[in-house]
Amino acid sequence: MNLVNFRFETDADGIATLTWDMPERSMNVITPQVMEELNQVVDKVASDEAIKGCVIVSGKEAFSGGADLTMLQGLRDLYVKLAKEQGEQIAMQRFFDESRKLSLLYRKLETCGKPFAAAIHGVCLGGAFELALSCQLRVVSDDASTRVGLPEIKVGLFPGAGGTQRVSRLMQTGDALQMMFKGDQIKALPARNSGLVHAVLPRDQIVAAAKEWLKTNPQAKQPWEDPKFKLPSNKVHSPAGMQIWPPASAIYRRETNDNYPAARAILSAVYEGLQLPMDLALKVESRYFAKILRTKEAASMIRSLFVSMQELNKGARRPADVPASKLKKVGVVGAGFMGAGIAYVTANAGIEVVLVDRDIEAAEKGKAYSHKLVTDQITKGRAKTADRDALLGRIKASADYADLKGCDLIVEAVFEDPKVKAEVIAKVEAVVGPKTIFGSNTSTLPITGLAEHSERPKNFIGIHFFSPVEKMLLVEIIMAKKTGKKALAMALDFVRAIKKTPIVVNDVRGFYANRCVGNYIREGHLMLMEGVPPAMIEAAGKQAGMPVGPLSLNDEVAVDLAYKVLKATKAQLGEASVDPAQEKLLNEMVEKHGRLGRKNRKGFYDYPEAGPKRLWPGLAELTKNKLEPELIDMEELKHRLLVTQALEAAKTYEEGVVTDPREADVGSIIGFGFAPYSGGTLSYIDNMGAAAFVKLCESLAKKHGERFKPNRLLKRMAKTGDTFYGAAEKKAAA
């Protein structure tokens, strides 16, 4: 055997150990070469009479993260190329054969006549866990880092190397479906309790235990090889099946709004597969896998949620020539809701925090928020009291700016008032050294304007968090005119340290995320004033793939805030900058009816003490217009809600607010939940094609107003056939 990625040795008892340890990689990953070598190993184990069985173990700190997603993208490219050169039929057959190679390899391993065992420590996910599932024994370490799971769904794929069939033969059907729908990573004990693995042992015993088992069970077979094997949830077509399957389809719709073909494929692959013997079941799974692998949803999600996200997290936008900053101490000024959240995530990353507010009570109150958050973790069993003590020990609450001395970075999160901010800037700069970077957390004020109050504008940058800080993954880094690259580098290093994803944007009113999401809310407002029943507006938002409807979202961020922003916009940019229908709606909601949102339990919804929120019946009185539900085109409502955001993203791109399609896409998904299946705002346009998107915008503009008019950039792209990603690639190559 000629092995590069594995070591293979056989002990005196005839038990082979296959150690997966890929050179020059920190994590094992399934590549074509890995598959080829594993194939050799299976042949060797099967044919060598001296070998009784084989245990697979990793030579690294973790088992493996699964398949190389770029390999799958490569397969897709191969298909497109072949289809052009040799026709659809040949391309499809070749693609099908290629895309099921891993599945066939695992099946070969499973049925080669000698037993395999997987000894798992650390993460073992996706294709790697599917490898483990095809082994007759799975032993995992009891280490806290050990996790198994099939997270393919998160990038628009599904387990296509036997995962759907083996998991649904090990677990109750409902549990198996849920596990694959959610894509959760499962810890050792729950994995054993649900039957996914056989034993949990200390790390140093897993290999020995696996070997011992192989020695005593040389004839071991998978349970489904037994002719008397019974499915965990009985037959599909049975009274039990009637309790499982119709709800499974309903829950699929509830959770996905039928926007995720991969989740749908899981259902069908399991449903059909459970009615077939294993070899055929795997073939059916492969058929669905080949289909899903070619969907635009999978391609877009892999690109945005895996590749781009990883690149941004690794610092794609970081100036390479600035050495990594060592963040030891961060000052947070303003201990309100945002400041308190920023203090928590910073301390949670092991960084010392000085949390400053006007008086010590306010500062302590901000610190108490961290106490609450860790306490919640403790009650859920996710943290220990000692963790809370350590974290709180890293936060110093103070009313004295002098305590900020020695901070590497200051994050200011005080009231959104230029005067207040100017005072804070002066007070901070009076005590910190010349190298300290000043980050301002503002969602509405231009950073360049604030930087004018700074004596060190090169060190001044915007760091825009989203609320609630501890939950939201996105941070917008805003470059003011004079912001220097050291400030940018430190801001990015900070975001990386607190495990969030940054996008770097230029300083234009509203920046990026809030402009897009503001449009989403406005479109909901306008629909309401047109007479669309509010329930339909909300349903359209969710069916389009947004996490909540526009009216719900406005209730969450507060209706009076939306009104305040609208008034401010009008004051600064003039009468024409706001929509009169929206203004009338917000004015009546806030001034006349005191409906401020969830915060006072009265917004577009009522929030009763008990029971779920319900749309406020008074909404019907806000407009005289009434549209007949059966005559409303839901598809058009969905288009309006997404197009208004995507178009705004295209405008920010043209204006140079966002400069990288990856940032626009990733930012839109993790910042405001823009239809993840689309890959993000700009992928949405790219997937539709600029020409079709422009056409759609124009027809919406004709029907619903100028706000849908496409910008110049899009019109040009429609003519040239360019895409955002295509143009960005060209630019990068040039």
Q: Which residues bind other proteins (CB under 8 A)?
A: 236-237, 239, 241-242, 245-254, 257-258, 264, 267-268, 271, 533-536, 538-540, 543, 612, 614-615, 629, 634
Asked if 639 and 704 touch (Cβ cutoff 8 Å), the reply is no
How many Cα atoms within 13 Å fall on the side-chain side of residue 198? 17
Residue with smaller CB distance to other proteins, 81 or 253 = 253
CB of 393 to other proteins, least distance (A): 44
CB of 543 to other proteins, least distance (A): 7
Residue with smaller CB distance to other proteins, 409 or 615 = 615
**Locate tokens 């083996």: which residue?**
166
CB of 675 to other proteins, least distance (A): 16
Residue with smaller CB distance to other proteins, 395 or 619 = 619
**DSSP, residue by residue, 565-621:** HHHHHHHHH-GGGS-HHHHHHHHIIIIIT---BGGGTBSSEE--SSS--EE-GGGGG
CA dihedral in degrees (313, 317, 322, 323; nearest 10)? 10
Residue with smaller CB distance to other proteins, 616 or 674 = 616
CB of 223 to other proteins, least distance (A): 24
Residue type, position 302, single letter:
I
CB of 186 to other proteins, least distance (A): 23
**Is residue 410 within a helix (H) or strand (E), and if so which, with residue range?**
strand 409-412
CB of 165 to other proteins, least distance (A): 16
Listed in sequence order, the residues at least 6 apart from 519 whose beta carbon sits closer than 8 Å to its beta carbon are 644, 645, 647, 648, 707
Asked if 180 and 159 touch (Cβ cutoff 8 Å), the reply is yes
CB of 153 to other proteins, least distance (A): 15
CB of 537 to other proteins, least distance (A): 9
Structure tokens that stand for 27 in this block: 């994590």
**Locate tokens 């600035």: which residue?**
322
Residue with smaller CB distance to other proteins, 269 or 688 = 269
CB of 175 to other proteins, least distance (A): 15
Listed in sequence order, the residues at least 6 apart from 7 whose beta carbon sits closer than 8 Å to its beta carbon are 17, 18, 19, 21, 59
Residue with smaller CB distance to other proteins, 366 or 549 = 549
Supply angle C-alpha 508, 509, 515, rounded to 5.
105
Q: How far apart are CA 147 and CA 288, in angstroms?
A: 26
Residue with smaller CB distance to other proteins, 129 or 245 = 245
Strands 395-398, 409-412: pairing kind: unpaired
Q: Which residues face 411 on adjacent strands?
A: 332, 439
Alpha helices in 48-145 (DSSP H): 69-86, 88-99, 101-110, 127-133
Asked if 458 and 483 touch (Cβ cutoff 8 Å), the reply is yes
Residue with smaller CB distance to other proteins, 241 or 484 = 241
CB of 622 to other proteins, least distance (A): 16
Residue with smaller CB distance to other proteins, 524 or 533 = 533
- Closest CA relative to residue 295, chosen from 259, 267, 331, 326: 259
Q: How many CB atoms sit inside 10 A of residue 62's CB?
A: 20
CB of 171 to other proteins, least distance (A): 18
CB of 709 to other proteins, least distance (A): 28
CB of 248 to other proteins, least distance (A): 7
Q: How far apart are CA 131 and CA 127, in angstroms?
A: 6
Residue with smaller CB distance to other proteins, 177 or 669 = 177
Q: How far apart are CA 45 and CA 38, in angstroms?
A: 10
Listed in sequence order, the residues at least 6 apart from 323 whose beta carbon sits closer than 8 Å to its beta carbon are none
Listed in sequence order, the residues at least 6 apart from 281 whose beta carbon sits closer than 8 Å to its beta carbon are 165, 272, 273, 274
Residue with smaller CB distance to other proteins, 538 or 648 = 538
Residue with smaller CB distance to other proteins, 246 or 656 = 246
Residue with smaller CB distance to other proteins, 254 or 702 = 254
